[in-house]
Structure 1
């Protein structure tokens, strides 16, 4: 009897041990699960690091405000919200006061970059915080009048900008004061915006003079 030559595919077909495929699938599954746990834990830790704590009682808001700067807040502004973030890279604080009739907002914020004196980076973070609408919105104004006044804070002359204008979305007239200064722990920013009808010049001046 003559031997029948094997087909080429049979001659060069690789030998596969029994059970190897199952073990490979199990191993890959275990590795994938470990990577998922590691990455998931790392991502969760990063989220934790960059998620601020939120405070809503009046006492907590005032405490955060005092950590930023001394401030004689007018009685018609009520503390509503504070946020604080402290991680190895940066410290952020923010507190919000709202007019008792809902006709304006005071925002006080502070940031400290922990890897050097990065004033530009700190101001950029203050710009981002200024856009936050949590607790009360700062309206975009079509400014019709503006002036700068100097106030002494920690023995430095600090410019504050006073604006008058119309809200672009509602046509309501507002007055606003804003400025950057050195807080207790880093660069700070104050923004006070009130409807023109409830603007109290004496109270605003006293507020800014209290930033000693």
Structure 2
């Protein structure tokens, strides 16, 4: 019994954790990855049931350190997907976020990189804008006293500091484009930053869009907030 429960719990955590890297390395399709995670949850539940039976009827032969490790693996295998599901329910099912939802910055250099992406390069539209404004009302155009060239330069530094891949920096037109790759599944989300002159200062808008998926689980809004925090930090140090 103890061997069976440990094997099932180990299988469960592998089915939950490995699909992300396997998809990232292009060894399996996304649908297969999600199927693996679903079966991992089922295996984890089965493993927990076996552990309960083991603790109730085979206490004398139970090796408790292994029992504890198996329980932790099974609990994690259940908790990770449930956490993702909870996050999905707490944010709108959108994947295109912009500080300017009326005239959002447009992708130029990145457009060709998204040619085969399920989510088109065009802005998602008024329905997405309405959901974003309700969920993330704090994401609005940024205004700075510094001139455009200064803000553009610091924005490029911020992009690099965040570890994003800088795709293009059109300083003359005030357009910066970059790609951020998520750690677990390796999803590629694209960012475009637009800086324009406003009086003696400048205005900055940033847009982040996922290449795949209907819902971004709040990742694009989180990414924009990270950039804003990094930009403000670097501007304050100059």
| TM-score of the superposed pair, with normalisation by structure 2 | 0.27
> Which structure carries more helix by proportion?
2
Structure of higher CA gyration radius: 1
| TM-score of the superposed pair, with normalisation by structure 1 | 0.29
